[in-house]
């Protein structure tokens, strides 16, 4: 009788734990299902894409990171993604999704390519494209906060995440790009940096430090050329703050 009582108590405790997890949006794994989560928390992180970063007439192809938990696959994991229409304002004609997505066998991370197309409305305001993983018998969506990838698309200029994030800590915040490479952010400096990238057809996503250093130096040399001609380039033409690129070299 005592054993039966403990068994019942155990079931009740597990049921309570599962219910609590569901209420908090935590993932309760089943061993026969692969759970796919997007890399970014949709509550706090939106992927910003601006056609200002690309050459005129060029489509923008981005890669969304995903992670896999639950069942460990002994073969390539194939799945599809689709649009969440309740959170999407970008017309269907202005994007292309892959027909199938693949995470290689034994690998717990992957990338999904998404192609975005320019149209005139993006000059005036950003449009949203929100994506989700399609569930089937072997694949399910992951933790609730990571079940959607939200992409903001525009032809407007904005400070990129890699130039504004905190690379330090709460007590001593700082940004590596600002401290060691490009210096303080200004719209004019960013446009000039993009011009240097476009000369070689490069799109910088903030990940490759070698690319950051190379084109920061290119911009620094461009500013030197202006100085040698007796011209000063300002961060802000109104405030007359001379533009400074900090990268050594």
Higher pLDDT, 16 or 240: 240
**Two tokens at 98?**
């892959």
Separation in Å, CA 211 to CA 197, 198, 204, 208: 9, 13, 7, 5
Read off the pLDDT of residues 117-157 as tens digits, 9 standing for 90 and up: 999 999 999 999 999 999 998 899 998 999 999 999 999 98
Judge whether 148 and 44 are in contact, CB under 8 Å.
no
Say whether pLDDT at 191 is over 80. yes
How confident is the prediction for the chain on average, in pLDDT?
Answer: 87
Mean pLDDT of the region 53-68: 91
Read off the pLDDT of residues 106-117 as tens digits, 9 standing for 90 and up: 899 999 999 999
Residue 19 confidence (pLDDT) = 44
Residue 27 confidence (pLDDT) = 46
Q: What is the DSSP code string of 85-125?
A: GGG--S-GGGEE--S-EEE-TT-SEEEEEEEE---GGGGTS
Say whether pLDDT at 30 is over 60. no
Residue 22 confidence (pLDDT) = 43
- Measure the CA–CA gap between 6 and 18, rounded to whole angstroms: 18
């Amino acid at each position: 009788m005592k054993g039966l009582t403990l068994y019942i108590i155990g079931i009740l405790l597990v049921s309570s734990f599962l219910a609590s997890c569901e209420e908090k949006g935590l993932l309760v794994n089943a061993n026969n299902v692969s759970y796919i989560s997007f890399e970014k928390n949709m509550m706090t992180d939106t992927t910003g894409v601006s056609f200002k970063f690309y050459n005129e007439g060029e489509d923008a192809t981005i890669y969304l990171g995903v992670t896999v938990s639950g069942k460990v696959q002994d073969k390539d994991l194939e799945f599809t993604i689709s649009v969440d229409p309740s959170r999407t304002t970008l017309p269907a004609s202005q994007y292309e999704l892959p027909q199938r997505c693949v995470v290689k066998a034994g690998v717990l991370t992957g990338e999904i390519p998404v192609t975005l197309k320019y149209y005139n409305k993006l000059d005036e305001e950003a449009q949203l494209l929100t994506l989700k993983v399609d569930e089937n018998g072997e694949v399910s969506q992951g933790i609730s906060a990571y079940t959607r990838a939200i992409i903001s698309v525009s032809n407007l200029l904005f400070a990129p995440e890699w130039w504004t994030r905190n690379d330090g800590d709460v007590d001593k915040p700082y940004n590596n790009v600002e401290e060691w490479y490009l210096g303080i952010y200004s719209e004019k400096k960013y446009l000039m940096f993009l011009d240097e990238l476009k000369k070689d057809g490069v799109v910088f996503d903030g990940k490759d430090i070698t690319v950051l250093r190379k084109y920061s130096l290119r911009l620094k040399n461009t500013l030197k050329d202006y100085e040698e001609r007796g011209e000063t380039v300002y961060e802000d033409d109104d405030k007359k703050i001379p533009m400074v690129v900090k990268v050594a070299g």
